[in-house]
Amino acid sequence: MKAAILVEQRQPLVIADIEMPAELLYGQVLVKIHYSGICGSQLGEIDGVKGPDKFLPHLLGHEAGGIVERCGPGVTKVKPGDRVVLHWRPGEGIQAPTAKYQWGPRTVNAGWVTTFSELAIVSENRVTVIPNEFDLEIAALYGCAITTGFGVVFNDARLQLGESIAVFGVGGVGLSVILATKLTSAYPIIAIDLYDHKLQKAIDFGATHIINSTREDVRKAITALSPGGVDVAVDNTGIREVRELAYDITHKRGRTILVGVPKSPGEKMSIESLPLHFTKTITGSHGGGIDPGYHIPRLIRLQQQGRFDPKGMITHSFTLDEINQAIEAMRRGEVIRCTIKM
């Protein structure tokens, strides 16, 4: 099968044919990938933001829509023919041994879920069944972007009716935060980004105000819209200065949620900690604390009922052979969320 392999950090992925294991192990599921998303986390893996990678060469990707081909021993949650979302958050089922593929004389490692390949062997607890008629390209968004965004709003921030929110960075996760926020009747919903096309999409998804940080004083603009600070500030960028600003413009009784991963290993941020002794809070988000088996079917039902529509989030589609072009387009800020069509 064809796959995109991370062979060396800070270098393009290598597209190559690799061999599947002869048998599936206990708890493993073989999925034919139809669409994979690309998340900023994969860019971080390529760039080595967490330091040297001891598992090279290995496969990447953690959000996809596909169809189950075969199941290993012990698997009861899914069966061949099921349409599924592949997700990085563990859900119900077995956490199986990670798959190993063969690339000539070299072993290619993989985690509990990978999606940058035509076929993928994943753990049972990384797949969730979805309705047969559901669009597999949209399904890929449920592997990370949509679930993280909704989890940030309802689990991490616990956003309440009429509260204010500022969302720094409106890519896939940021737009999903805005989609979820719109369901709470929050106001104002402020989107901050570098790119006008992303800010326009934020308005389409429910933002009430937008700020282009290349042209406006963000602190001043947010203070004018929400004197005293916003009830919730969400950072999706991982940039130190932005994380610090998000905390600074959070109300003294508000919550700052850090979603984006820091850009350098060991990077620290500086904040005034005294408000934390009272009612202000700051916390990191781990995928919004989502339980995939519980939340994905419920969110899909909400989408099917017309409560929100994520389709405009996917702005570009590429083939697997074009995956490095897709990654560079993400780095340039040209795409909001792109998919890889297998």
Predicted TM-score (pTM) of this structure: 0.95
How does residue 49 score in pLDDT terms, banded at 50, 70 and 90? confident
| pLDDT of 51 | 85
> How high does pLDDT run on average in the chain?
96
Q: How far apart are CA 141 and CA 178, in angstroms?
A: 15
Distance CA(223)–CA(228), nearest Å, equals 7
Q: What CATH architecture applies to the domain 145-286?
A: 3-Layer(aba) Sandwich (3.40)
Residue 50: per-residue pLDDT:
83
Give 121-161 as a DSSP string. EEEGGGEEE--TTS-HHHHHHTTTHHHHHHHIIIIIS---T
Query: 291 pLDDT band (50/70/90 cuts)?
Result: very high
Give the pLDDT mean for 143-148: 97
Torsion of CA 300, 304, 308, 314, to 10 degrees: 70
Where along the chain do the CATH 3.40.50.720 domains lie? 145-286
**Are 33 and 119 within 8 A, CB to CB?**
yes
Q: Report which of 72, 75, 67, 71 is spatially closest to residue 134, judged by C-alpha positions.
A: 67
Asked if pLDDT for residue 165 goes beyond 90, the answer is: yes
Task: Name the H helices within the chain.
Answer: 40-47, 136-141, 145-151, 172-182, 196-205, 218-225, 240-248, 292-304, 323-331
Q: Where in the chain is the domain with CATH 3.90.180.10?
A: 2-143+310-341
Q: Does domain 2-143+310-341 have CATH number 2.40.340.10?
A: no
Give the mean pLDDT of 246-275. Answer: 94
Q: How far apart are CA 234 and CA 97, in angstroms?
A: 35
275 pLDDT more than 80: yes
In percent, the amount of the chain with pLDDT more than 90 equals 95
